[in-house]
Structure 1
Amino acid sequence: MRDLDITEVARRSGVPASTLRFYEEKGLIASIGRRGLRRLFDPGVLERLALIALGRATGFSLDEIARIFAPDGRPRIDRQMLVAKAEELDRRIRKLSALRDGLRHAAACPAPSHRECPTFRRLLRAAASGAIGASRKRVPQPPGN
């Protein structure tokens, strides 16, 4: 297969050219030259982009995805990293399942109002405590505080 220019890589992979340039800047992919002003890529970049897409879909950061590749560009997937991500996904699935079930209950709850529904009240308490919702990042405190 012949080398692919950036337009062809974008078309085949579904990844915008701007993202391809960003990935190249981050070291996730590498062009092999240029044809005029267009970057050229080895056809193997499509498989690499598929691995990047899979990593992103499972919640890996771009820095974590970069560690999946050996210096020669071949995948070297740390199985322990995969196990840890799977466990993280399991926790997220349990949390989202509980939220889904609570919302379904609240939608069908026979209580006169949501404020009187014990299940909905538990959801509110969990949200207020930070147990559900956006993860809260700790703000570092200066020494002595």
Structure 2
Amino acid sequence: MRISEVAARSGVPATTLRYYDTIGLINAHRQSNGYRAYDESVLERLSFIEAAQRLGLSLPEIAQLLVVVEGDTCTQVREALHPKLTERLREVDAHLANLRLLRNRLVAATRRVAACPDSGVSCRSECMLLDQRGRGCLTPDETTQGAQ
């Protein structure tokens, strides 16, 4: 298959296919006219790459996994893939916890700003983002209240 056909069948842009070829994720055979030629197996490989990317794996991680997937048993693939997925899950959980904390802070700050009275006098904008003690972080009580 030529690169245009692979792009059409896989949904992966030709520029990305060229990049993947350059970094060794896929392999093209050069024809005498210089065009890249791919065999059918590239479509399955591209599906694996896309699925791994949707799980947040990096291209270097995917390259390592492709070596295992194509040369080892299912047991060996599981032993290589499971720890990577477990670690990625831990990273996502930590990120979600940080996002929940940020959301709670934003809720409390939004409430504080909404409660600011109308006034014709000059106001320091940063005063509404500070807690009662003048710090930029919310108190534990305010963070908990924001989750409600």
TM-score range, shorter chain: 0.5 to 0.7
Residue 39, structure 1, aligned to residue 36, structure 2: yes
1:67-86 equivalent positions in 2, closer than 5 A: 67-70=64-67, 73=70, 76=77, 78=80, 79-86=82-89
The partner residue of 1:122 within 123, 126, 137 is 137
Question: What's the CA shift for 1:87?
Answer: 0.8
Higher helix share: 2
AA of the residue aligned to 1:39: R
> Are the structure 2 counterparts of residues 82 and 96 from structure 1 closer, same or farther at C-alpha, using a change threshold of 3 Å?
same
Moved more, 114-123 or 89-98: 114-123
Task: Report the Cα distance in structure 2 between the residues aligned to 1:114 and 1:74, rounded to whole angstroms.
Answer: 59
Q: Percent identity?
A: 35
| Structure whose CA Rg is larger | 2
Name 2:20's counterpart in structure 1.
Answer: 23
Measured against aligned partners, the alpha-carbon deviations of 1:18-43 in whole angstroms (never above 9, x if no partner) come to 22111112111112453844322222
RMSD value, Cα: 3.1
Assess if the C-alpha contact under 8 Å between 1:5 and 1:40 holds in 2: yes
Matched residue, 1:90: 93
Matched residue type, 1:116? M
Query: Is there any run of 5+ residues in structure 1 with no aligned partner, and where?
Result: 124-145
Corresponding position of 1:99: 102
Contact 2:29 2:38 in 1 (8 A): yes
TM-score normalised by length of structure 1: 0.64
Deviation at 1:71, TM superposition (A): 6.5
Question: Whole-Å Cα distance in 2 between the matches of residues 95 and 80 of structure 1?
Answer: 23
